[in-house]
Copies of this chain bind each other. A is one copy, B any other.
Amino acid sequence: MTDWGNHLETMRANAPLVQNITNYVAMNVMANVLLAAGASPAMVHDEGEAGEFAAIAQALTVNIGTLSPHWLRGMEAAARVAHEAGTPWVLDPVAVGATAMRRDAGARLLALRPTVIRGNASEVLALAGADAAGKGADAADSVATAEEAARNLARRTGGVVAVTGAQDFVTDGERAWRVDNGHPLMPKITVMGCSLTGVVGAFLVGQDALRATVAALAFYGLAGERAGARADGPGSFQPAFLDALYSLTPDEVSAGAKVMPG
């Protein structure tokens, strides 16, 4: 049995400085999620300093949720520095198929070779150039429909692609894993996916990208299970979720991770 909790233990020991260029909706929750999990978040986006800061960050995450041309320049500057320095970075292509500006941003960021791409099925399909049904941040396509696109995208970028949904699918183009942790309330709360992208970034520091991503997804889903068991709805879920990220131990992750080869 694979010991997925080890990856949480390593992340907490690293307490990595993670730079996040993310959307306005996600910023606060993402910072709290990273702090609760055990990492050190920093939100630095302007092109005048994003690359300079990426040189000192241990991981970078980029999310195009509330995109504008100015922010895209900061994203590209930071991702370029991360790519050249070998710093792991994660792309979260929110609603990438919805508009021409998003499709262009997706292509530009893909060229900078993200270590991991984390999106829902519609986003991975759109990024891979396939037809996708989803227009907003919600996924209208099922995870299963995006598996082949995820494998192709991973081979093309040389990175890992994680398609998240009811059951997650993670692949580096050759190997693949499925993660079955989570709770039905999670899609009823905004930026749960965006915040997960930050946790994936934190797990990547000094760890194998494929396995670290799988471990991050299992940890996050387990926290969701614990919170969901205590919540009366999507409101009470949120404080319970941060408490769970904070209190979950590596042993509990190893025991509770529902991971199988894909």
Contact = CB atoms under 8 A, between A and B. Distances in A.
Interface of A: 17, 23-29, 31-32, 35-36, 40-46, 48-49, 52-53, 56, 65-70, 95, 98-102, 135-138, 188-191, 231-247
Nearest to A233: B243
Contacts of A66: 27, 43-46
B243 A32 contact: no
A23 B135 CA distance: 22
Contacts of A56: 98, 135
Contact of A43 (B28, B46, B65, B102): B65
A68 B45 CA distance: 8
B49 A234 contact: no
A249 to B, nearest CB: 13
A161 B45 CA distance: 28
Contacts of A32: 189-190, 234-235
Ranked 3 nearest A-B pairs via Cβ: A235-B242, A233-B243, A235-B239
B28 A49 contact: no
Contact of A17 (B52, B135, B242): B135
A240 B235 contact: yes
B235 A241 contact: yes
Contact of A69 (B46, B191, B232): B46
A138 B15 CA distance: 12
A27 B22 CA distance: 13
A231 B101 CA distance: 43
Given A17-B136, A56-B98, A68-B46, A236 B232 contact: no
A31 B235 contact: no
A36 B99 contact: no
Nearest to A74: B68
A231 B236 CA distance: 12
B69 A246 contact: no
A242 B233 contact: yes
A120 to B, nearest CB: 13
Contacts of A100: 49, 52
A68 B41 contact: no
A35 B69 contact: no
11 contacts: A25-B43, A31-B190, A32-B234, A45-B66, A46-B68, A49-B99, A49-B100, A232-B247, A233-B247, A235-B245, A239-B239
A243 B94 CA distance: 26
Contacts of A67: 46, 49
A243 B234 contact: yes
